[in-house]
Structure formats: C-alpha cells, structure tokens
C-alpha cells in the first residue's frame, strides 16, 4: 500500500511539473528575427535537425535578407496548363524563416488553370489583381463537396489548409492573382503528379482499382507524366 501511495504521489508531482512547464513556456519568438542560414554557419551545430532553418548570426544579416524583387514581372504561361507561379517563400526571402508567412504570384493565360492541388502546411488566401477566375475546393470525405465561386478583380477567396483546390481563368484576357499563405514553406502536392508520377510508381493494379478503370488506361495516364 505504501508503494502505491508513493507512485501516486510521484505521478501527481510529475503532472503538476508538466503543467507548470506548459504554462511557463513562451509562445512567441524570443528574438527579433531568425534569418535562414542556408550554409548553417550561424548559432546551431550542423548535426542538429531543425523544423526550418538555422538562424544566421544577426551581425551578418543584410537588408537583402528581407527583400525580394521581381513580383511585378509576369510569369511565362507558355506551358500546357497556361499558368505560371512565382513563389516568395523562405527560399526567396531568408528572413521569412520562423515567421510563418509567404506569398505567391500566379499568372494565367486565357483559360489557363492551376490544376487540383493542396498545401499540406498552409491555408491560402487569394486576391484577384486582374481578370476573372473560377476557383474552388473540395471538402473531405465522405461529403467531397465542391465549393466554388467566380471571382472578379479585387475579390478574395480562402482555401483551407489541406483541402484540394484549383483556379481557372474564365476570361479571354490574361489574369493575375496574389496569394498569402500562413507558412514560410507551405509545400504543394499536385494530385496528378502525386498519384501517377510517384517515385517509385504506385502499382498499376492499385490505381486501376482505385479509379475503377482498365489497367491500360492507368498506363496511358502515367505516360502523360
């Protein structure tokens, strides 16, 4: 009985200590910035694995670490999708490291599309700068409801994190959008590439059953990638 009482007392003390540590933690950054150090020559040792990038020594930080030029330049939409993406993430602005934000410019040729995809680490808010777009996202199983809308210049729409979404220019003129994302590195998974162009390949048998089509059709689709 005494042993059980000791165990219970220790468990209670451990729980109280955990609560204290949880409430004592500082949720905000404890420094002004943490400019990404791509060469890992800053504060952290090279064998440490970080969720993001090591901080550059503040004494080495320059104004260019906080800046990006060229977002006014249209992207090249001369591709089968008729769209071009210009990202501004931590890869382009090292100072975005740990700040949880990024943006992207997207150019659309007439009837150009950004094919169905999702961002595993970010919600996206999109603003139409020029043109008219059809946008939409699909809710999760089992409903798989398509929520779509036609946007005009100045309109704003939100794609929740992790949900498949798309954009299409529905006009005969070029279109431009600017998006903000709440991650320094939102990531992108394009549905077609992920399913039909994985490395190594997903078995044709599996895909044929998943889509309820003949294996030859799966092979033909894989050949497009």
Neighbours of 1 (CB within 10 A): 5
Report the C-alpha gap between 222 and 196 in whole angstroms.
Answer: 5
Rounded to an integer, what is the distance from CA 224 to the centroid of its chain? 25
Detail the residues annotated as belonging to a binding site for oxalate.
Answer: 119, 124
In a 10 Å sphere around its CB, with 0-12 CB exposed, 13-18 middle and 19+ buried, how is residue 99 labelled?
middle
202 DSSP 8-state letter: P
Report the C-alpha gap between 149 and 2 in whole angstroms.
Answer: 67
Detail the residues annotated as belonging to a binding site for Mn(2+).
Answer: 117, 119, 124, 165
Report the C-alpha gap between 79 and 106 in whole angstroms.
Answer: 14
What is the enclosing helix (H) or strand (E) of 107? Answer: strand 102-108
Detail the residues annotated as belonging to a binding site.
Answer: 117, 119, 124, 165
Report the C-alpha gap between 44 and 216 in whole angstroms.
Answer: 52
Identify the CA nearest to 160 among candidates 140, 184, 130. Answer: 140
Q: How many residues can be counted in the chain?
A: 225
């Amino acid at each position: 009985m005494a042993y059980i009482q000791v165990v219970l007392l220790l468990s209670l003390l451990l729980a109280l200590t955990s609560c204290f540590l949880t409430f004592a933690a500082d949720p905000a950054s404890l420094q002004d910035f943490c400019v990404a150090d791509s060469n890992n020559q800053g504060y952290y040792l090279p064998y440490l694995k970080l969720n993001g990038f090591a901080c550059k020594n503040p004494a080495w930080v320059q104004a260019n670490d906080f800046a990006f030029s060229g977002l006014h330049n249209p992207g090249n939409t001369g591709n089968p999708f008729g769209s071009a993406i210009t990202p501004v993430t931590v890869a382009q602005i090292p100072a975005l490291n740990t700040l949880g934000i990024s943006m992207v410019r997207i150019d659309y040729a007439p009837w150009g599309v950004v094919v169905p995809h999702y961002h595993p680490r970010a919600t996206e808010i999109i603003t139409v700068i020029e043109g008219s777009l059809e946008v939409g996202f699909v809710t999760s199983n089992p409903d798989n409801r398509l929520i779509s809308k036609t946007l005009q210049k100045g309109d704003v729409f939100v794609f929740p994190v992790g949900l498949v979404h798309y954009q299409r220019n529905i006009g005969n003129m070029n279109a431009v959008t600017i998006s903000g994302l709440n991650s320094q590195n939102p990531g992108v998974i394009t549905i077609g590439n992920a399913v039909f162009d994985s490395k190594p390949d997903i078995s044709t048998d599996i895909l044929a059953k998943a889509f309820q089509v003949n294996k030859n059709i799966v092979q033909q689709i894989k050949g497009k990638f």
